Amino acid sequence: METIKEMSKNEKIKNLTSDWFILMSKYEYSYHFTWLGCSIIQFPQDVIAMQEIIWQVKPDLIIETGIAHGGSLIFYASMLELLGDDGQVLGIDIDIRKHNRMKIEKHPMFKRITMFEGSSIDLDIVKKVYDFARNKKSILVVLDSMHTHEHVLKELELYSSLVTNNNYLVVYDTVIENMPESFSSNRPWGKGNNPKTAVREFLKTNNRFEIDKEIENKLLITVAPEGYLKCIKD
């Protein structure tokens, strides 16, 4: 839409959005929301974007690295429930805390969810994921675990081949590159070492994906600038 293009070029809006994002980060804004009773730890804008993507591509498998409280898994499962087929959600986390696992397993949407505990870049876990994904026709992958350049780049290399043509590989928290140094002062990631730098490195040698700029242009407020990657080749 023409209005989206015009809005995305408005420097005043972009500056206001950036200022708002930085100011809100100190209030842990993403922790304020739940999906069907589970903390989702995402911005509502990105939840809406994922809803649009899922409805458009109709995946029969959604893979996400990083489970946390499980709200994203519940969200994906509920979208697949609405689609009405037998779509499944696979979550991977190096540490699935007992109380989070129990809450997820008790949820009505758990019937569509499988969880693997272990590092997303451990080759034994990767093999289990590929075995689980065998015979799936439409696969969407979301990366939201450790946010260092090295880890995300390895995830991109390991999981990108699972993403089917016209589907998406979504990399969250690329916004770290846009934030002040103080934002990540106590983290192993930061400016120059984060998911966005990994995406840029990945795209230098992989031509199956392109950044879907229309999504971030429409959202403006997103944790994933340059992180919505559309698969354009088999």
For residue 102, CA distances in Å to 36, 192, 229 come to 15, 37, 33
| Domain regions of the chain by residue span | 2-231
Please tell me the predicted confidence (pLDDT) of residue 185. 83
Please tell me the predicted confidence (pLDDT) of residue 106. 97
d(CA 200, CA 212): 14
Please tell me the predicted confidence (pLDDT) of residue 166. 97
Please tell me the predicted confidence (pLDDT) of residue 222. 96
pTM over 0.85: yes
Name residues of the chain where pLDDT drops below 70: none
Query: For the domain 2-231, what is the CATH code?
Result: 3.40.50.150
CB 150 within 8 A of CB 180: no
Beta bridge partners of 169: 141, 229
| CA torsion through residues 192, 194, 196, 199, sign | positive
Please tell me the predicted confidence (pLDDT) of residue 184. 86
